[in-house]
Amino acid sequence: MKRIIILLFFLFLTIQPSGALTLEGGVTYTVETARAAAFDGVETKIDMSPYKEYLKDLYTLTNQSCIERGIYYLDASYGEPRRLGGFYTFGILTTYAIVYKREPYHTYYYSRDGTLLRIDIITKKTQKYPIKEAAYTPTGELKAVIFHVSDQEGYSFDRDGKFLGHWIGDYRYTEKGRKIPWSKRKSLN
């Protein structure tokens, strides 16, 4: 009996809760408070005319080749300076992202054929957390909202506010703290 109590105590200390995080300064987020903060002031539709040039990645093959070789920072010799990131499923590059140097608060996600899948726009122009990121489709419709509470943790919600997951590092969790599958990301940081 004594061993069971010690084991339970040890498990209690080592399990990381997925429902709340206390940040420096004493701010604690639950799924509900993160949802409210995430959607505060977010537009449900944006004008896509400023983004027409990004509907197709002009450097698809170069970008994918660089990502697969582990090159994530491209200077002007590769065209426009940019950071790259790849998302893999079962070891295969499925999606990639680009952040252009001149637009550090926009991330463009592309399919393998270089077609724009979504644009993430950071709504708060700062590196202080929390940071809110709104994801829009190529037609300008809100797709999701991501609420970053740190560089390793955040909450995501669909356009209607439905909870999609709480991630910590490379792992994503349900509202009840169960680990769920998540695509592995390489770089973009």
Token pair belonging to 42: 């977010």
Residue-number span of the structural domain to which 144 is assigned: 21-187
Q: How many helices (DSSP H) and strands (DSSP E) are in the chain? A: 3, 14
Question: Residue 137 carries which side chain, given as an amino acid letter?
Answer: T
Token pair belonging to 125: 């122009």
Does the residue 13 lie in any domain? Answer: no
CA dihedral of 148, 90, 72, 99, whole degrees rounded to 10: -40
What's the chain's average pLDDT? 83
Among 1-5, 88-92, 96-100, the minimum mean pLDDT is found in 1-5
Does the residue 54 lie in any domain? Answer: yes
Residue 164 confidence (pLDDT) above 70? yes
Among 103-107, 136-140, 141-145, 167-171, the minimum mean pLDDT is found in 167-171
List beta partners, residue 180.
Answer: 172
pLDDT of residue 182: 61
The residue written with tokens 């926009």 in the block is 106
Does the residue 49 lie in any domain? Answer: yes
Count of the separate structural domains present in the chain: 1
pLDDT of residue 104: 93
List beta partners, residue 108.
Answer: 98, 119
C-alpha to C-alpha distance for 167 and 86, rounded to whole angstroms: 18
Does the residue 9 lie in any domain? Answer: no
